[in-house]
């Protein structure tokens, strides 16, 4: 094998390896309107909105629009899209939302000031796509809410106007505002039942369990811009999307497969070259 | 809407309401002393994010009122009374902010300046335009208008709340905000055309006049049934308190029989249950000081405030007055001049 041939082989191997790593992600983003939730062993890079782990996470971008809810000026909203990344460990899900908002607003104590806010909506018992506006009696929803004034709230709702905070919160959030953009990380146990006091009776409304098998879960997002006086049903909301938990093998496995693939290609090429040389003698 | 028959009148009550509390305020007796305002404030709104609120206020009319220009901020219903009209939220400045004074300079920096508000701090506040009124000398005019929540029969604040946090109490139609349901959206604040629901930014909930319901339930001073503090504490005792559907009470007679007590801005279509005896003023004077025939407070202005029924109300009162002047008897004039003991009829339905 000449030097040129060898470098060609190496280049090919690198291209194959790169494609093996990158292509699934690209095709996922094109064919799936959802949030892939990668498994990670170590959550330390995901605990804050600026954690190092998020740069490698796959970003999903969802368009937002007014909801037409039965409140004045429901469709006069200002936030057009939200970006979402998510990972999970064995215990918790880490979901980061971010959106552009040129003004950092808080409900600062006057009648006309409203807070910036973001919410994540999930079916309470994993049902398929409850009514998008706060679920219904038959198909209640859970809402994870963060507001620049009121902080974190974990809410149950069974239709418009019914949202009620859970007495005991299992949700944590971390937020930053920089360069005209909010980043809010929601952190919650995958199965919250274990972290709630056992004294709660069975009448407690259901709290969404995040599945860890390949079963998907619906998810929707809402964002409020305080300076546009957005509150309650006057919000930018997404449609239902899929929270693709456990989609694809965890990252390190994929990396091992890539190494193996490259090794196989190289071994084959070396073998072929060996046979060719032997035949030529 | 359900109907309760009186002797010869029918009183419309809101659906699901057994009786309806009501108040009649005689504007001819109001001296603008603000005792009602302070009675309310010391009872209900002296702290905890309520400092800026006046569930009861007394404003000078003509004037911008409290909050400033509330009559121009929308809310209420359309002409047919069927579709709610969204309003706008008053600003902090409209309600009036505390002024900063030059305490620092005087107390610590040895300034000889008189104590006064800093710079332009004092440019608006509740009652800023007190006693200004309108008209030219010698025919200027004004009167005082005490205002509380009207505990309306068709309340647009109740309709405005997407969470049904506001409701009319079944037993007496008092409009309340369920503090557990309220999430501070403020649709009720903009939805009330009288701007009598207030946002408490500390509690992040809306709050309003409760018609002193603990007092009318006998939970007030000495465990006795009392009228709302604004009414009981009024020095000229200009307020009558009772039930609109109490056919033998003075309120029913003034509102439904004589029709001399009228609603403020009936065109908002919320059907208030606070009624006003419209104000009389001395007639106009000529430049020479002679009494002229013309009314001092223009009827058009009173009609703007109280609707077209104000004409009949004023004419009826004038007619009855004249009858008494000529030595005749008038039940209406007696009602309007009744003593304190007859002004509060709050226990008539207690056995029901």
Give kind and range of the element (H or E) at residue B183: none
Q: What is the pLDDT of residue A25?
A: 47
- pLDDT band for position A212 (cuts 50, 70, 90): confident
DSSP per residue, chain A: --HHHHHHHHHHHHHHHHHHHHHHHHHHHHH--EEEEEE-S--GGGSSTT-GGGGGSPPEEEE-B----SSTTTT-----EEEEEEEE-SSEEEEEEEEE-SS-----SSTT----EEEEEEETT--S---TTT--SSS-EEEEEEETTTEEEEEEESSTT--EE-SS---EEEEEEETTEEEEEEEEESSGGGGS-TT--TTSPP-PPPP-SS--EEEEEEEE-GGGT--TTSSEE---EEEEET-S--HHHHHHHHHHHHHHHHHHHHHHHHHHHHHH-
Least Cα separation, residue A172 to chain B (angstroms) = 21
Give pLDDT, residue A30. 38
Q: Give the Å distances, CA to CA, from B214 to A35, A97, A275, B25, B54.
A: 54, 47, 101, 21, 19
Residues B165-197 as b or e (16 or more Cβ within 10 Å = b): bbbbbeebbbbbbeeebbbbbbbbbbbbbbbbb
Q: Which residues contact A237 (CB under 8 A, 6 or more apart)?
A: A64, A65, A66, A67, A132, A220, A221, A222, A223
ipTM (interface pTM): 0.88
Give the Cα separation of B229 and B55 in Å (integer): 12
CA distance B36 to chain A (A): 25
B243 and A CB contact within 8 Å: no
For residue B185, give the nearest of A70, A162, A232 by CB distance: A232
Interchain contact A160–B (C-beta under 8 A): yes
Residue B342: DSSP 8-state: G
Q: What's the pLDDT score for residue A31? A: 37
Does pLDDT of A162 surpass 80?
A: yes
- The pair of structure tokens assigned to B182 is 């309220």
The separation between the first and the last C-alpha atoms of chain A, rounded to the nearest angstrom, is 14
Q: Which residues of A touch B204 (CB under 8 A)?
A: 107, 149-150
- Nearest chain A residue to B87, by CA: A72
Q: Please give the Cα distance from A193 to A204 (Å, whole number).
A: 11
**A39 min Cα distance to partner chain B (Å):** 37
Which portions of chain B are predicted below pLDDT 70? 1-9, 351-352
Confidence band, pLDDT 50/70/90 cuts, at residue A205: low
pLDDT of A230: 97
Q: Which of A107, A229, A232 sits opposite B201 (nearest CB)?
A: A107
The model's confidence at residue A19, banded by pLDDT at 50, 70 and 90, is: low
Produce one character per residue of B293-322: b if its CB has 16 or more CB atoms within 10 Å, e if not.
eeebbeeeebeebbbebbeebbeebeebee
Which of B256, B98, B264 shows the shortest CA–CA distance to B192?
B264
Give the Cα separation of B301 and A276 in Å (integer): 109
Exposed (0-12), middle (13-18) or buried (19+): which is A258, by Cβ within 10 Å? middle
Report chain B residues whose CB lies below 8 A from the CB of A161: 162-164
pLDDT at A4 exceeding the cut of 80 = no
Residue A203 pLDDT > 80, yes or no?
no
Look at residue A222 in the predicted model and tell me its pLDDT. 98
Q: What digits encode the pLDDT tens for the residues A89-142?
A: 999 999 999 999 999 998 777 899 999 999 999 999 888 999 999 999 999 999
């Amino acid at each position: 094998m000449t030097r040129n041939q060898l470098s060609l082989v190496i280049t090919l191997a690198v291209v194959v390896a790169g494609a093996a790593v990158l292509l699934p992600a690209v095709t996922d983003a094109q064919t799936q309107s959802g949030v892939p939730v990668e498994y990670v062993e170590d959550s330390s890079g995901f605990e804050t909105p600026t954690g190092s782990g998020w740069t490698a996470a796959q970003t999903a971008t969802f368009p937002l629009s007014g909801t037409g809810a039965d409140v004045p000026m429901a469709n006069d909203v200002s936030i057009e899209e939200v970006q979402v990344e998510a990972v999970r460990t064995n215990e918790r899900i880490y979901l980061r939302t971010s959106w552009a908002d040129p003004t950092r607003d808080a409900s600062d104590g006057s009648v006309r000031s409203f807070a910036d806010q973001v919410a994540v909506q999930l079916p309470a018992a994993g049902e398929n796509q409850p009514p998008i506006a706060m679920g219904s009696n038959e198909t209640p929803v859970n809402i994870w809410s963060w507001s620049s004034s009121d902080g974190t709230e974990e809410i149950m709702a069974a239709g418009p106007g019914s949202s009620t905070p859970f007495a005991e919160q299992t949700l944590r959030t971390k937020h930053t505002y920089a360069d005209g953009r909010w980043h809010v990380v929601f952190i919650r146990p995958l199965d919250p039942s274990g972290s709630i006091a056992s004294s709660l009776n069975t009448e407690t409304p259901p709290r969404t369990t995040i599945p860890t098998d390949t079963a998907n879960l619906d998810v929707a997002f809402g964002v409020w811009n305080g300076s546009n006086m957005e509150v309650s049903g006057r919000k930018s909301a997404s449609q239902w999307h899929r929270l693709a938990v456990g989609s694809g093998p965890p990252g390190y496995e994929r990396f091992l497969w890539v190494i193996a693939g490259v090794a196989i290609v190289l071994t084959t090429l070396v073998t072929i070259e060996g046979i060719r040389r032997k035949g030529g003698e | 809407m359900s109907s309760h028959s009186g002797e010869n009148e029918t009183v419309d009550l809101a659906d699901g309401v057994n009786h309806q509390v009501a108040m009649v305020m005689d504007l001819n007796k109001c001296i603008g002393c603000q005792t009602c305002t302070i009675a309310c404030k010391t009872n209900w709104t002296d702290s905890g994010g309520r400092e800026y609120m006046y569930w009861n206020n007394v404003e000078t009319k003509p004037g911008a009122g409290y909050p400033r220009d509330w009559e121009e901020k929308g809310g209420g219903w359309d002409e047919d009374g069927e579709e709610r009209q969204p309003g706008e939220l008053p600003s902090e400045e409209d309600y009036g902010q505390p002024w900063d004074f030059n305490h620092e300079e005087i107390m610590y920096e040895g300034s000889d300046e008189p104590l006064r508000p800093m710079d332009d701090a004092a440019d608006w506040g509740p009652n800023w335009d007190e006693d200004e009124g309108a008209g030219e000398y010698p025919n200027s005019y004004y009167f005082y208008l005490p205002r509380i929540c009207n505990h309306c029969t068709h309340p647009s604040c109740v309709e405005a709340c997407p969470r049904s946090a506001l409701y009319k109490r079944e037993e007496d139609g008092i409009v309340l905000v369920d503090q557990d349901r309220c999430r501070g959206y403020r649709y009720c604040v903009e939805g009330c055309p009288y701007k009598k629901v207030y946002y408490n930014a500390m509690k992040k909930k809306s709050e309003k006049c409760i018609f002193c319901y603990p007092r009318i339930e006998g939970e007030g001073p000495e465990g006795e049934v009392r009228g709302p503090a604004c009414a009981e504490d009024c020095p000229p005792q200009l307020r009558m308190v009772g039930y609109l559907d109490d056919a033998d009470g003075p309120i029913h007679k003034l509102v439904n029989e004589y029709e001399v007590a009228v609603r403020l801005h009936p065109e908002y279509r919320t059907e208030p249950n606070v009624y006003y005896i419209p104000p009389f003023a001395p007639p106009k004077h000529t430049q020479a000081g002679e009494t002229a025939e013309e009314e001092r407070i223009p009827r058009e202005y009173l009609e703007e405030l109280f609707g077209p029924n104000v004409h009949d109300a004023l004419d009826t009162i004038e007619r009855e007055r004249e009858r008494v002047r000529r030595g005749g008897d008038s039940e209406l004039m007696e009602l309007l001049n009744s003593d304190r003991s007859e002004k509060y009829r709050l226990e008539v339905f207690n056995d029901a």
